[in-house]
Amino acid sequence: MAEALTGLLADLVRVNSVNPSLVPGSPGEADLAQFIRAWLSTHGVPSETVEAAPGRPSVLARVPGTGGGRSLILNAHLDTVGTDGMTAPFTPRVHGGRLYGRGAYDMKAGLAACLLTLLDVRSDRLRGDVILAAVADEEHASLGMQAVLERVTADAAIVTEPTELRVAVAHKGFTWHEIITQGRAAHGSRPDLGVDAIAHMGRVLGQLEALGRELGQRPPHPLLGHGSVHASLISGGQELSSYPERCTLLVERRTLPGETPEAVTQEITARLSALAADPDFHAEHRLTLARDAFGIAPDAPIVQSLQAAATHVLGQRPAVIGQSFWMDSALLAAAGIPTVIFGPCGGGAHATEEWVDLSSAEQCRQTLTATVRSFCA
């Protein structure tokens, strides 16, 4: 059966699904969605397309249960990041038990495992529905998952992002902020008239650095450690011989479960307010995007079912971990769907050499199948 996964994964990697919101002009998910629907149809599994935006489809498929059982979503995303610096990114290459190519690890191996799990259980006559949600745009704004969640719900979900065959029950969230300092334009020879917006932003940077130190001194999350803040992008000024009238800073704050966007925004605003004793200091601050952190209790039924299945397949109990990066699991959880994360081993996500360990991808598939048979029975 491992050969089936390798062949399917190779077919998935061959399809360019680079996210056009990240790399303008890229094809996006349409061709891959079409491939998946054709593959499912060939194997007798009905599916439908959910289009979050023109040319940005997700795929929903369902193996219906006989009734009275718990339903389960298997989730993977269709899109990948770009390919700059890669050689033949869409030509899958197998070497040393690894399959190389863009998206192999992040996360078409998880997608292949989900697809084959549907085939594994389609004749089992389970009581609960098994649902595939193969979504668009996870690498940018998660438009696909948001659209899918308007159409479907379930008793639990498994996100098959790579976890190195460990059970992930938490991940960080993030907020994005824009801070603008206002100065007064004047000729560079007239300090009596000018106010330097860039210098004032330097004060803001000092406050953010102090906030970062404070976050590192707070009690850590047992799996995720500390929250953090960093300055991401900065721009300002008009020309070399003028006092800059405006400076813009874009900031990212990585958050922990329980930290709300409102509280984080107030935390930064309070730092800016501390600078307002200077009558020449003027700053504006707004939240531009928020994605909540994620966490589920390790004793939740879906976590226990997955852990038992993984223990059987792997021959040992997998570690329970948290992940530093954000995933669509947070949106599933916010929709009231208990969610856990489990996926294969590999490396090179978003890098110029990406690969997945094929034996771990097969173990992921076997674990998903065993979990579905237990949870949806």
264 and 303 fall within a common domain: no
Instruction: Compute the distance between CA of residue 330 and CA of residue 184 in angstroms, rounded to an integer.
Output: 43
Q: What is the pTM of this model?
A: 0.93
CATH assignment of the domain containing 205? 3.30.70.360
Q: Residue 264's pLDDT band (boundaries 50, 70, 90)?
A: very high
Q: Residue 236's pLDDT band (boundaries 50, 70, 90)?
A: very high
Give the three-class secondary structure for 94. Answer: strand
161 and 192 fall within a common domain: no
Instruction: Compute the distance between CA of residue 270 and CA of residue 280 in angstroms, rounded to an integer.
Output: 18
179 and 115 fall within a common domain: no
308 and 359 fall within a common domain: yes
Q: What is the pLDDT of residue 1?
A: 57
In tens, the pLDDT along 20-47 reads: 999 999 999 999 999 999 999 999 999 9
Q: How many beta carbons lie within 10 A of that of residue 251, not counting itself?
A: 22
Last residue of a domain, one of 291, 307, 333: 291
141 and 179 fall within a common domain: no
Last residue of a domain, one of 291, 324, 339: 291
Name the domain count of the chain.
2
Last residue of a domain, one of 240, 262, 291: 291
Q: Residue 254's pLDDT band (boundaries 50, 70, 90)?
A: very high
195 and 301 fall within a common domain: no
In tens, the pLDDT along 180-232 reads: 999 999 999 999 999 999 999 999 999 999 999 999 999 999 999 999 999 99
In DSSP terms, which residues pair with 187 in a beta bridge?
242
Q: Which structural domain, as residue segments, surrounds residue 257? A: 174-291
With 90 as the cut, is the pLDDT of residue 3 above it?
no
In tens, the pLDDT along 104-160 reads: 999 999 999 999 999 999 999 999 999 999 999 999 999 999 999 999 999 999 999
Q: What is the 3-state secondary structure (H, E, C) of 207-255?
A: HHHHHHHHHHHCCCECCCECCEEEEEEEEECCCCCEECCEEEEEEEEEE
261 and 228 fall within a common domain: yes
Q: In the chain, what is the straight-line distance between the N-terminal and C-terminal CA atoms, in Å?
A: 23
117 and 207 fall within a common domain: no
Instruction: Compute the distance between CA of residue 221 and CA of residue 169 in angstroms, rounded to an integer.
Output: 12
In tens, the pLDDT along 66-104 reads: 999 999 999 999 999 999 999 999 999 999 999 999 999
243 and 280 fall within a common domain: yes
Instruction: Compute the distance between CA of residue 359 and CA of residue 97 in angstroms, rounded to an integer.
Output: 7
| Cα-based angle 254, 171, 57 (whole degrees, multiple of 5) | 95
